[in-house]
Amino acid sequence: MENKSIYIFEAERIGNYLLGVTVQDSEKNTYADAMQKLNIQLSNYEQALWNSMIKSKSKMACIDAALALKEPNNNARRKLFTMLAIIEASPNYTSYFLSRNFSFFYIVKIGLVGMRAVCRAIVGIFIINSIKRKCN
CA–CA dist 83, 25 (Å, integer):
13
Q: What is the pLDDT of residues 64-87, one digit of tens each?
A: 999 999 999 999 999 999 999 999
Please tell me the total count of domains within the chain.
1
Residue 115 pLDDT greater than 80, yes or no: yes
Domain residue limits at 20: 2-135
The predicted pLDDT at position 104 comes to 80
The predicted pLDDT at position 47 comes to 96
Percent pLDDT > 70 in the chain is 99
SS (H, E, C) 44-84: HHHHHHHHHHCCCHHHHHHHHHHHHHHCCCCHHHHHHHHHH
Residue 99 pLDDT greater than 80, yes or no: no
The predicted pLDDT at position 2 comes to 66
Q: What is the pLDDT of residues 16-67, one digit of tens each?
A: 999 999 999 999 999 999 999 999 999 999 999 999 999 999 999 999 999 9
**Burial class of 126 by CB neighbour count within 10 A (0 to 12, 13 to 18, 19+):** exposed
